[in-house]
Amino acid sequence: MSTTWKTPSRRRVLKALAASVVLLPQVSLSAIKRLLPANKASRDFIEHNDLPLALETRRSAYGQGPITAISQFFVRNNLPMPEAEIVADPDRWTVSIEGAERSKTFSLAELKALPTTTIGSVLQCSGNGRAFFAHSPSGSPWGVGAAGCALWTGVKLSTVFEHIGGVQSEARFITATGGEPLPQGIEPSAVAVERSVPIDKGLDDCLLVWEMNGEPLPLVHGGPLRLLVPGYFGVNNVKWVRRVEASSDESSNKIQQSGYRMRALGERGNASHPSMYRMPVKSWLNGPGASGEALAPGTHQLFGVAFSGERGIDHVDVSTDGGSSWQRASLYGPDLGPNAWRTFSIEADLSEGEYLLVSKATDSAGDSQPEYFPANHRGYGHNGWRDHALAVEVVGNAVSAKRPVVSPVDMGVTVAASVSAKHVGKTNQEDSLGKRLFVETASPPCGVCHSLEAAGARGVIGPNLDELRPDARRIRTAIAQGVGAMPAYAEQLTDREVNALVAFITSTQ
C-alpha cells in the first residue's frame, strides 16, 4: 500500500479510521443547540455541558414517586450522540453478539422475538455528588441529580447468548461497544466508549433494553438499544450498543483501562485501581424545600430516595438537626427490586428556624452511608450523608419569604464564571503561541474536539469553550491530567506552552 503519510502513528490512525470511524460533520453553533433533546423541560435541569451533553435533574424536580419520568431524567454522554435517524426505525438497529459458539448479528426486531423482561433500576453517573468535594475535581460538578430510576424492558443477555450456543469457555468479561460517531484524526481506542464487566455479572443480570418507562428508548438515553448493567454505575450501561462480546480480556480502550477508576488525589488511573462498578448505598431528601423556598411552620412530609446496587434497602434514618438525633423513616410505594430506589418519607413538625435535613440509608447487607466520603481524584462515588443535606428555613410568613438560596451546584457555576475574568498582561507573542497550539501544534490539537471562536475552531467532541469559559485552574488541570475523552498533555507540553494555552483561552473570555 502506498501512502503519503510518513509517520507510523498517523498510518495506524488512518487505518483505524477507515475501518470503523464515521467522520463527524462540522456542526454550527445553532445546530449544537438543536441537539438538545426536545422532551426535556429546561426548568427541571441544570445544564452542565452541551457537548458532550450533561443535564442534571434539579433536586426539586424529582417528585415523590419511585419512577423518574423521561422528561426529568438526567443525561450524561461521553461523546456527541449519533444522528437522530437511528431511532426513526428502531427495529432495523443491529447489534453483533460475539464470543459465542455461533456469533451472530441481531436486528432489534429479532431481539424482540426472544423472551422479554422488565426490571426497575437506578442509573447514576460515577461523578454524581462531585460538587460536594472540596478539591473541585475535573468534570461536571453534579449535585444529587445525575441519577434516576426507571423501568427498563428488554432481553437478558444470557438469553441472547443461549440462543446462539452459549459463551465460549475462555470468556471472562462482557465487553460492550457504543455506537457514537468518532472524531476524525484521533486514535479510536483513546475516545471510543467500550466497557467491560465481569462475565458473571453480564450473564446473571445484564439486559439489552429498548424501552424505558414503557416508551421506545429515546436517543439521548441510548436508543434504540443500550446495555443495562443493573446496580452498576452509569458508564457501564453502554448506549447505542453496537457490539457485545464475551471476551477473555477487558477492553483495551482508555475508558476501561484508566478511566472510571477510583484512585487517590493526584494519581493517574490504571488497571490496578478499582473500576467504577457496583453503586454503594446512598440516599438523599428531595423535599419539601428543595428549590430554596421557605417552609411554613407546622407538619411536613419529608421525602427522598434510597438505593444500593444489587442489594436493595433495609431502612432509612432521617435527622432534622444535621445528624444529632435520628428517626426511622417509612419506606412507601412499590419495591421494584434490589437495583431500583425506594421512596421514603417521615413526618416532621417544624417550628420557625433553620434546619439541616439529612438521611442515612442502610442496605440489605448491613452497609450504611458514611458521614464523610474521602476525596478521590476524579470525585467519584460520593455517598457521604452529611454533604447531601437539604438546608431549609421555616418562617412564619413563608409565602412571601423567599430565601435567595444558592445550591452547591449553582454556586460552583457562579464561582467559575466570576473568576474567569479577562486575562490581562499577556504578550501578543504568547497569545499566538497559545493559539497555534490550540489549532495546530498540540497533538491532537485542542480544536479537533473543542469550539473556540477566537481560534476559528469548531470541534464538537468536547465542550464549546466560548460557552464553558473555564478559568485558568480548570484549563491547567484538564491539560495536565486529561478528562473524559480528552487526553492528558502533561508529558507533551512545556510549562511555557501550557501557560501560553491558558493565557490564550482566558483572553478570549
Residues near ligand HEC (CB under 6 A): 52, 78, 138-140, 183, 186, 191, 442, 444, 446, 448-450, 461-463, 470, 474-475, 478-479, 483-486, 489, 501
Mutual angle of helices 495-507 and 428-436, in 10-degree steps: 100
The residue among 315 and 469 lying less far from ligand HEC, judged by its C-beta, is 469
| Residue 105 neighbours by CB distance under 10 Å | 12
Whole-number minimum distance, CB 321 to ligand HEC, in Å? 36
| Amino acid sitting at position 81 | M
Coil, strand or helix at 174: strand
What phi and psi values does residue 295 have, to the nearest 5 degrees? -100, 155
> Rounded to whole angstroms, how far apart are CA atoms 54 and 48?
5
Whole-number minimum distance, CB 264 to ligand HEC, in Å? 19
For the beta sheet containing 173-177, the strands, ordered from the edge strand earlier in sequence to the opposite edge, are: 104-107, 94-98, 243-247, 173-177, 194-198
Nearest to 329 by CA among 310, 342, 311: 342
- DSSP string across 383-414: --TGGG-EEEEE-TTTTT-B-----HHHHHHH
Element (H, E) at 332: strand 330-332
Nearest to 103 by CA among 244, 248, 249: 244
Nearest to 409 by CA among 122, 67, 139: 139
Whole-number minimum distance, CB 290 to ligand HEC, in Å? 25
C-alpha cell at 188: 479510536
The residue among 266 and 366 lying less far from ligand HEC, judged by its C-beta, is 266
The residue among 52 and 304 lying less far from ligand HEC, judged by its C-beta, is 52
Q: Are strands 94-98 and 243-247 parallel, antiparallel or unpaired?
A: parallel
Whole-number minimum distance, CB 505 to ligand HEC, in Å? 6
What phi and psi values does residue 218 have, to the nearest 5 degrees? -70, 155
> Rounded to whole angstroms, how far apart are CA atoms 509 and 505?
7
The residue among 254 and 282 lying less far from ligand HEC, judged by its C-beta, is 254
The residue among 394 and 478 lying less far from ligand HEC, judged by its C-beta, is 478
Whole-number minimum distance, CB 459 to ligand HEC, in Å? 7
The residue among 199 and 483 lying less far from ligand HEC, judged by its C-beta, is 483
Whole-number minimum distance, CB 502 to ligand HEC, in Å? 8
Q: Please, what sign has the CA dihedral across residues 247, 249, 253, 257?
A: positive
The residue among 215 and 467 lying less far from ligand HEC, judged by its C-beta, is 467
The residue among 138 and 251 lying less far from ligand HEC, judged by its C-beta, is 138
> Rounded to whole angstroms, how far apart are CA atoms 421 and 117?
53
The residue among 188 and 333 lying less far from ligand HEC, judged by its C-beta, is 188
Q: What is the 3-state secondary structure (H, E, C) of 156-172?
A: EHHHHHHHCCCECCCCC
Whole-number minimum distance, CB 438 to ligand HEC, in Å? 6
Whole-number minimum distance, CB 432 to ligand HEC, in Å? 15
Whole-number minimum distance, CB 192 to ligand HEC, in Å? 11
> Rounded to whole angstroms, how far apart are CA atoms 431 and 360?
51
How many CA within 13 A on the CB side of residue 147? Answer: 33
Cα–Cα distances (Å) from 45 to 118, 276, 340, 397, in that order, read 27, 25, 22, 29
The residue among 358 and 446 lying less far from ligand HEC, judged by its C-beta, is 446
> Rounded to whole angstroms, how far apart are CA atoms 126 and 388?
16
